[in-house]
Amino acid sequence: MYIVTGGAGFIGSALVWELNRHGIYDIIVVDNLGTTEKWKNLVGRRFSNYYHKSVFLDMLYDNKFRNIKGIIHLGACSATTERDADYLMENNLHYTIKICTYALEHGIRFLNASSAATYGDGTQGFDDDIETIYSLRPLNMYGFSKQLFDMWTLEHGYEQSIASFKFFNVYGPNEYHKEDMRSVVLKTFLDIMDGKPSRLFKSYKPEYKDGEQMRDFIYIKDIVHILYTFLQQPSWNGIFNIGTGTARTWNDLIKAVYTALDKECVIEYIDMPEYLKEKYQYYTKADTSHFMNVTQNTFSFTSLEDGVKDYVQNYLMHECAIL
């Protein structure tokens, strides 16, 4: 049995899809569906049962689940704009600690979602070594909550027994429900379909032209392939950057969407909200040397153009935003 928390969310439901592709159906999905549309991500997927996150911990500690082979903890508040610090502490930190502790005590493979948001403005670099992790200064409470778990892991030496992943900018099917946190690929596609120009934030740093702010974009199919492979490799442990190792501009991303649609690119640069100006990352690029060393260069990554093309042409153009 595998347990996937956040299993109806973006990465979680994509992982259920990946597990199903490999003939794995004994899966427990944990999430908080509420009144959201996330349930659609589970349509067509095969899994054993679904439990709300509020009851899951008690069930876990009461040993209600048998023969657990792995727990993939992807459930968290992922909104970088969330301002309720107490909620993030409880939901993203303490909840994670409890699941991780149980997994370690019972010899269960444990994978965890950290975040590239821990790197803040990038002035400390994007190296996932131990000393860098302690020196990071996240720009928002979401990133800080993720960093706190990373530090808790290091302080107890658990990084030698679990795998935690700092995901960079993930895009692809199953993200439609994320509202403002949806990728720019999806937002751009919807604008184009509505006959609107694509919009990007203006730059407020002279070293970056408008739209030339850079991110490490990684396709969701690459992410879940990595997670599945790590489940099969219990000796691959540590805190890892998960990105392509290549930084591309927002302009590149927008142009890739237009190219996939065979349309002429039209971009409008808009003012950035005041509350974002001091918290905006102008550059991210995963240092993947540690990841590649541990995995012995097992993985290759989908190019930005190929990933966007697959997402747009095989999903969005068919009014299907789900794997």
Is residue 259 a part of any domain in this protein? no
**Residue 186 forms part of a structural domain:** no
Is 179 a domain residue?
no
Instruction: Tokens for 14, please give them.
Output: 């994509």
Residue 321, pLDDT score: 80
pLDDT at 123: 86
Question: Does residue 95 fall inside a structural domain?
Answer: yes
316 DSSP assignment? G
Q: Which residues contact 240 (CB under 8 A, 6 or more apart)?
A: 128, 163, 164, 165, 166, 290, 291, 294
- Domain with 150 in it: 2-171+217-245+284-302
**For residue 43, which of 13, 21, 22, 15 has the smallest C-alpha distance?**
13
Domain presence at residue 110: yes
Active site residue 142: yes
Distance from C-alpha of 64 to C-alpha of 61, rounded to nearest angstrom: 8
Query: What is the C-alpha separation between 38 and 2, in angstroms, rounded?
Result: 20
Kindly report the CATH number assigned to the domain that includes residue 67: 3.40.50.720
Q: Which element (helix H / strand E) includes 257?
A: helix 250-260
pTM given for the model: 0.95
The pLDDT assigned to 90 comes to 92
Using an 8 Å Cβ cutoff, are 12 and 152 in contact?
no
Average pLDDT by stretches of 10, the chain with 323 residues = 97 98 98 93 97 97 97 89 89 96 98 94 88 90 94 96 97 92 95 95 96 97 98 97 97 98 96 88 94 96 98 92 87
Tokens representing 244?
């392509």
Catalytically annotated residue among 40, 53, 102, 178: 178
Clarify whether 178 is annotated catalytic: yes
**Cross-strand bridge partners of residue 166:** 241
Q: Tell whether 180 is covered by a domain.
A: no
Catalytic residue among 2, 51, 95, 142: 142
Say what the pLDDT of residue 82 is. Answer: 83
pLDDT of res. 179: 86
Residue 178 placed within a domain: no
At 17, list the tokens. Answer: 């899809």
Residue 311, domain member (yes or no)? no
- The number of distinct structural domains making up the chain is 1
For residue 10, the model assigns a pLDDT of 96
